[in-house]
Chains A and B, each alone.
Chain A
Amino acid sequence: MEQTKELLVNMGPQHPSTHGVLRLMVKLDGETVTWCQPDVGYLHRCFEKLCESKTYPQVIPFTDRTDYAGPILHEMCFVEAAEKLFGEAITVPERAQYIRVLLAELQRIGSHLLAVGSMAMDIGAVTPFLYSWRDREKTYSLLERITGTRMLYNYFRIGGLRNDLPEGIIGSPNDGEDKSDQTFWGFVNYFDNYVMPQWDALVTGNRIFQWRTMGVGCLKSEDAIAYGASGPVLRGSGVKWDLRKNLPNSIYNRFEFDIPVGKENGDCFDRWLVRMEEMRQSSRIIKQCLQWLAENPGEVMGKVPRILKPPKGEVYHRVEAARGEVGCYLVSDGSPNPYKVKWRSPCFTHLQLMPKLCPGFKIADVVAILGSIDIVLGEVDR
């Protein structure tokens, strides 16, 4: 007797739009997805076990390698968690805090540009992807001038920063596009006046893009909370929750910025809009940082002992990274090596949403949904 069977398709580990080595097992009824299950671990390198055999400063370069698209924010999480363990023993100079926030927000712009660019490419628009990389390279050039490397910075230190900003990198507020890869002001002006309007007109306003993303991958706000979503995914579902406001780490409580939220039943387009608006807010924070930094020179490294031995204790520190809440559960037993490091990565948690979001949509929407929750496999697999 003839019967119809569901088609089980393995998307990945080698697939153009799984953003790395993610395997999505998808059951299809025609083109419609009936079941979806992610399979992760292809990039697993036991980062947490590795950290247990390293000293505290030695862990910092490894935190870069978790989320390689936004490493500064992950460094920030670990460094601040370690500083929390030390308590009063280590104070971070104010200038170092400002530079940390400055770099973190620049990194957020770069990371979101990657996210929106790759989401546009998943939906089929190749050109915006290359524009996003063009502009993201400028953030990398700036970070390279400060830290010495384009991608894996190892720049934050427990108690401060490795070095101060180089001469002339802040620039003047009149810097235009010609200096966008040399000065912060140049980049911010270029970004506000050229990049964002271009994105709005080229992709956000495009009707095909809206057809593809509106009403796709809807996530109710209570579901988003229950499934542990954070960052743009949570805010895209209409929950006004941003750890920079609700649990301010570093000196985020000194800055003026808004938290964009989507609608109650947020779809891919809401998440897209949240990312777009967050980039604008990041540029706002950068401007405030630049004004402060131009006026206040000073030390960037506090007094720290030569061998870092935090007192016994546990800490769970959370930072709003580009993709959501990055948490570091750090346990110290008084030795120079951390007793335990647990890395709570947002993308790992967000992948739980795939079985929830995908069924009922077409296979083309799976990649759109995956693009809208923006995973980085280095962070998922750790």
Chain B
Amino acid sequence: MVAWWNSLSPVAQAWIWGFGKATLILIWGLLNFAVAMMLERKLSAWIQNRVGPWRAGLHGWLQPIPDLLKLFLKEYIEPRNIDKPLFVIAPFIGFVMCLLIWLIIPIGPGAVAMNLDIGIIFIAAITGYDVIMIFMSGWGSNNKYSLLGAMRGAAQMISYEVTLVMSIIGVVMMAGSLRLSDIVDAQAARGPLGWYLLPQIIGFLIYLIASLAELNRAPFDLSEAESELVSGYHTEYSGFRWAVFALTEYIHLVGWSAIAATLFLGGWTGPTHADLAALVGNLVNGFGLFPNGAGTGLIDWANNAAVNMGWFAKWIWGFWWFAFKTYLFVFLAMWIRWTLPRVRIDQLMDLGWKFLLPVSLLNIFLTGILKFVATEYHGVPVNLGFTTLRLLGWWTN
């Protein structure tokens, strides 16, 4: 196998490898769609004292399969006087773009499809295509509601992209790299308290708000506000074209959550079974108060395991922590969606330009100042202010 692989030309290797990765990403995206959609429906049901889908599979958890089948079989309804090329292409542009996000996200140690050194810029770049998707579908539908939704969507996404990138810059400054795997490594070196969640709490909150707006999710789902514009930019879509919009929405949601987990929660890093065993050993030992054979043995075993851990176990743990953190954010987004009302378009713009953008700029300044302080006065005797900094993870040693 290895010999066969090595016998191939580098071009063929790149093609096969790329094709394999693309397939994996597609499958992973669809899987995420199914899970996220079910989670949304079940979470909304639980919040609203309902049970949600109940018939397909155990307690209805296989509902996405009949749903997708149904949407495949449904009729494509096309209104008269639509701009057909735009109308047909629009959903698929978004679908491709939401899958592209997964290219650069490290889902395990070294497990990243394309380790781009401009990772975050790449994300910001492909997000721009979502605006195009929304505007194409809204304009192509020949519907006033769609047009209004498209206008809103374009305005909203363009303004929040700025804020989004600004909120990430703090993280970039701290990690010193745009590459996502570098950011994860930097966080791994700092330990859980040093994950950028706490040092960059302002940036994190702004990222949270701005990514909700970027994803068109409540309370910022203005471009598909179902109580004002019937369904916004995808009012006229039906059948599988509509399903592609739904796919886009949920894959996007998971993608942005994955970015959030990578940037602020340390990505795939997290305690492994060795760390857990060491913790149990320490507990048995009473943290050195009454050392005994069992505890020490466990700690020894843990140290051994940590050193000898194979790449597969590392990947499993990395993937588990990555998925866990990602879905933490997915849960948060859904929880917010089913709690808060929708804002109005002028309030959305006010919030974006007049509040979030200044605060994110302030965050950049603050980060710069603190970083300067932390490097300049390195090794100065500790006083109260520096203790706070250290607690917040600014001071790594």
Contacts and interface: CB of A to CB of B under 8 A. Distances in A.
Q: Do A and B bind each other?
A: yes
A202 B340 CA distance: 8
A267 to B, nearest CB: 14
B191 interface: no
Contact of B341 (A134, A208, A363): A208
A74 B281 CA distance: 74
Given A16-B226, A16-B227, A130-B48, A31 B144 contact: no
Contacts of B343: 208, 211-212
A375 to B, nearest CB: 15
A130 B47 CA distance: 10
Interface string B336-360: 0011111111110000000000000
A363 B229 CA distance: 9
B345 A212 contact: no
Size category of the A interface is 20 to 34
Interface string B95-128: 0000000000000000000000000000000000
A124 B144 contact: no
A365 B228 CA distance: 9
B230 A127 contact: no
A362 B346 contact: yes
Interface string B124-164: 00000000000000000000110010001000000000000
Interface in B190-231: 218-219, 221-222, 225-230
A125 B340 contact: yes
A17 B227 contact: yes
Given A363-B228, A367-B228, A211 B344 contact: yes
Interface string B308-349: 000000000000000000000000000000111111111100
B49 interface: yes
A208 B228 contact: no
B50 interface: yes
Contacts of B145: 9
A121 interface: yes
A209 interface: yes
A365 B225 CA distance: 12
Given A17-B227, A121-B227, A208 B340 contact: yes
Contacts of B345: 31, 362, 364
A365 B341 contact: no
B156 to A, nearest CB: 12
Contacts of B49: 130-131, 134
Nearest to A363: B228
Interface of A: 7, 9, 15-17, 28, 31, 120-127, 130-131, 134, 202-203, 206, 208-209, 211-212, 362-367
